[in-house]
Amino acid sequence: MAARRRIDTMEENRTKLLAAGRKAFAAEGFASASMDELTASVGLTRGALYHNFGDKKGLLAAVVAQVDGEMAERARAASAGAGDAWEQLLAEGEAYIAMALDPEVRRIVLLDGPAFLGDPSHWPSQNACLQATIEAVENLVADGVMRNVDIEAAARLLCGAALNAALWVAASDDPQAILPRAAEAFRLMAGGFRPTPH
């Protein structure tokens, strides 16, 4: 059997640690996750962790970037399936709401991420969700589908509303029942950005 190349095993170990971090952070939260247990669970030691990610927060940052990227991907997929441009924006927002049902997203990206890494705007991952919304709003304003509103401000409010509603849905006793109520209110409120029929 051919000797495994050095670079390959390193990439493999990085991936293993990332996956373990994702699982541990989602299950126990960043603060309670033990790096000893985490690394041991994939047959490594803390040495590998500190070599690959610098420190505990470095691993969190990497996990956040990964999950954040997947969220943007999901949002794109959701908007692609919708009808006109306005419906696509709404679909994107509703997709965010639905995403927060995912414990990984909620715990890692929405709670521990901001608390331990600081404001999402300054993340290297640039908060992919927000970026996508900004682009969408940009186009909608250009096409006259939305009023001539401050692009970033509108995107921020839409994302914030969606994500906060999502936290509500996720923390409730019966998420499935709450979800449509949140989605409906979101559609309504977002309508505030549409031009008045005059």
Partner DNA sequence: TGAATTGACATACGGTACGTATGTCACCAT
Partner DNA sequence: ATGGTGACATACGTACCGTATGTCAATTCA
Contact stretch for a second copy (CB under 8 A) within 43-51, 70-78, 80-88, 106-114: 106-114
Q: Any contact of residue 115 with DNA (CB under 7 A)?
A: no
Contact stretch for DNA (CB under 7 A) within 46-54, 124-132, 154-162, 190-198: 46-54
Q: Any contact of residue 144 with DNA (CB under 7 A)?
A: no
Closest approach, Cβ 111 to DNA, in A, equals 17
Choice between 34 and 121, CB closer to DNA: 34
* Count of CB atoms situated within 10 Å of the CB of 106: 20
The residue type of 144 is G
Long-range contacts of 12-17 (CB under 8 A, 24+ apart): 13/42, 13/44, 13/48, 13/52, 14/52, 16/42, 16/43, 16/44, 17/42, 17/44, 17/48, 17/49, 17/52, 17/53, 17/59
Q: Any contact of residue 198 with DNA (CB under 7 A)?
A: no
Contact with DNA (CB under 7 A): which of 1, 43, 122, 174? Answer: 43
Q: Which position has the token pair 């409730």?
A: 172
Closest approach, Cβ 163 to a second copy, in A, equals 7
Comparing C-alpha atoms, which of 27, 16, 24, 4 is closest to residue 49? Answer: 16
Contact stretch for a second copy (CB under 8 A) within 47-55, 64-72, 79-87, 166-174: 166-174
Comparing C-alpha atoms, which of 117, 108, 127 is closest to residue 21? Answer: 108
Residues interacting with DNA, by CB under 7 A? Answer: 3-7, 9-10, 13-14, 33-37, 39, 43-48, 50-52, 55-57
